[in-house]
Amino acid sequence: MNNSDGLTRDIAKQTMQNDVVLNAAYINGNWVAVETAERGDETDIHPLYDPNSGEVIATTRLCTSAHVETAVNAASDAYASWSQTTVSERARYLNAIAESMEQQFDKLVGLSVLNNGKPIEEAKIDVSDAIACYRYYANLITAQETWSEVSTSESGIRLLKTYAPVGICALIVPWNFPMVTTAWKLAPALAAGCTVLLKPSEVTLLPELMLGNILSAINMPKGVVNILPGGAEVGAAMTSHPQIDKVSFTGSNVVGEKVMSQAAKGIKDISLELGGKSAIIVCADADIDYACDLIIGGIFTNAGQICSATSRLLVHQDIKQSLFKILKAKTESLHIGDGFDISTQMGPLVSAQQLNQVKKYFDIAAAEHLNCLTGGEIVDGSGYFATPTIYTDVPATSQLWMEEVFGPILVTTTFTEEAEAIRLANDSKYALAATIVSADEKAALDMVLQIQAGHIWMNEQQIVLPEAGWGGFKQSGIGRELGADGLSAYQKSKHVLLPQ
């Protein structure tokens, strides 16, 4: 296998054996064994897969709601002192996490490729983004003054403002960006002075389990971060627990709705980052070759398993023919393969379940008689591979147009007027992201003002900066992560009124 970095499956498996504690939860600063036969059936044994081959790489046991109880007590005990630490102390711990991740960069990349199937280059971007996020919130919290004076004009009253942590937080993350989604929640929560229970996705436990060792190595005070490898039972116990003050969830809308109702008990603060069906609009004046690169990056990165994937293409009628010719050729030249092969440009889906989801949409497309420009097939053999797929002239009533596939499927249509493009882009229950490809910046900015989305790329695709708040409108969620908004999500303001 061609791999210039020297990172191999065997090396990643060694990391798994040496640096990851399985059959355990990280509670109160210690690895607590998750005992066998807690449920007394086969669900006690949880397999972890290599999506590149479908091979079981390890088995582990998942936590139960009893572990949630212990972890909540630990987080609660730790809260009194952690919430009163100085901002510079908290920044020191965040920088220490970043430094430790940097030192173990290759190991974290290897675990991500092994357990998630990402191509090495994409896994490297993920680890770098997570590190940048810890550093960003270390700097942001250091810059926040304890007291700020609010102008009160003629009132004769002095008004001071300060911030307090929101409390004990339940952080729940999906499998598509392990470490990154965790960093988006954990970094601002710790910066704000919260203590947390973190539940990684049961599909991709390896990268987050290594985080437990990193926290021990930097002497993070006991109980501040508790990591619970678990599934729905643990997530439900966390989000409905009376001592949890805040729930931050990233995942599907189906589970997001459950989480919202679970968190309603006790009126918990909540942030939800949910699904998307984002549009990419290619205007008549766009550089067609470059536009095709943006389209491909926007849908086939991470095999389309991105909440912000620009999975609906709206292309101006005048450039349709030449664009589809180039797009088809570029898509068919993508190298699909094992994430450990450095030449791989698109890896497998994360799981057999996700592959089935994609297959279901191939079948729907066939039943709807959609016009397939390229792809539309599950790859025979081992691993969870589907071909990068493009359907053209897809009606807005198609299930593929309306529903989030979370796989490498692009649906396309054409427009003649900008107003029509905006109407089509906004015609979705989701409103997370969008891309506009145009040579006219002013015209594109005018479109930005009319498009419903929280994150809009102009002649760029899928770049995420820690400074830029992340989140959508409509059913794409509630609240924002990243940026200053991401810190506010874990703080409550306090106002003090006193005589001048």
Active site residues: 273, 307
Q: Considering the complex, what minimum distance in angstroms separates the CB of residue 291 from ligand NAD?
A: 24
Q: Are 460 and 294 in contact (CB under 8 A)?
A: yes
Residue closer to ligand NAD, measured from CB, 25 or 259: 259
Residue 486 to residue 455: CA distance in whole angstroms: 14
Residue 112 to residue 123: CA distance in whole angstroms: 6
Residue 455 to residue 23: CA distance in whole angstroms: 39
Q: Are 481 and 496 in contact (CB under 8 A)?
A: no
Judged by CB under 6 A, does residue 404 bind ligand NAD? yes
Answer for which of 104, 250, 302, 392 binds ligand NAD (CB under 6 A) is: 250
Q: Which two tokens stand for residue 270?
A: 């909540």
DSSP 53-85: TTEEEEEE----HHHHHHHHHHHHHHHHHHTTS
The number of residues that bind ligand NAD (CB under 6 A) is 31
Please choose, out of 28-36, 209-217, 253-261, 329-337, the segment that lies near ligand NAD by the rule CB under 6 A. Answer: 253-261
Residue closer to ligand NAD, measured from CB, 193 or 486: 486
Q: Are 310 and 458 in contact (CB under 8 A)?
A: no
Q: Considering the complex, what minimum distance in angstroms separates the CB of residue 262 from ligand NAD?
A: 6
Residue 39 to residue 58: CA distance in whole angstroms: 20
Residue closer to ligand NAD, measured from CB, 286 or 405: 405
Residue closer to ligand NAD, measured from CB, 126 or 404: 404
Answer for which of 49, 175, 385, 490 binds ligand NAD (CB under 6 A) is: 175
Count of CB atoms within 10 A of residue 53's CB? 16
Residue closer to ligand NAD, measured from CB, 228 or 291: 228
* Per-position x/- string for 25-64, each x denoting binding to ligand NAD as judged by CB under 6 A, each - no binding: ----------------------------------------
Answer for which of 13, 53, 231, 488 binds ligand NAD (CB under 6 A) is: 231
Residue 463 to residue 473: CA distance in whole angstroms: 19
Phi-psi region of 23 (alpha: psi -120 to 50; beta: other; left: phi over 0): left
For residue 226, CA distances in Å to 15, 38, 182, 234, 336 come to: 22, 20, 13, 13, 37
Q: Which two tokens stand for residue 98?
A: 């970043």
Cβ-closest residue to ligand NAD? 235
Tell me how far the alpha carbon of residue 414 is from its chain's centroid.
Answer: 30
Q: Considering the complex, what minimum distance in angstroms separates the CB of residue 307 from ligand NAD?
A: 3
DSSP 377-396: -BPPSSS--B--EEEES--T
Answer for which of 235, 337, 383, 454 binds ligand NAD (CB under 6 A) is: 235
Judged by CB under 6 A, does residue 405 bind ligand NAD? no
Please choose, out of 62-70, 151-159, 175-183, 376-384, the segment that lies near ligand NAD by the rule CB under 6 A. Answer: 175-183
Count of CB atoms within 10 A of residue 138's CB? 23
* Per-position x/- string for 409-438, each x denoting binding to ligand NAD as judged by CB under 6 A, each - no binding: -----------------------x------
Please choose, out of 77-85, 267-275, 320-328, 357-365, the segment that lies near ligand NAD by the rule CB under 6 A. Answer: 267-275
Answer for which of 46, 118, 258, 277 binds ligand NAD (CB under 6 A) is: 258
Judged by CB under 6 A, does residue 274 bind ligand NAD? yes
Q: Which two tokens stand for residue 266?
A: 């006790």
Show contacts with ligand NAD in window 454-483 (CB under 6 A).
476-477
Q: Are 422 and 90 in contact (CB under 8 A)?
A: no
Contact residues for ligand NAD, defined by CB under 6 A: 172-176, 181, 199, 201-202, 231-232, 235-236, 239, 250-252, 255, 258-259, 262, 273-276, 307, 404, 406, 432, 476-477
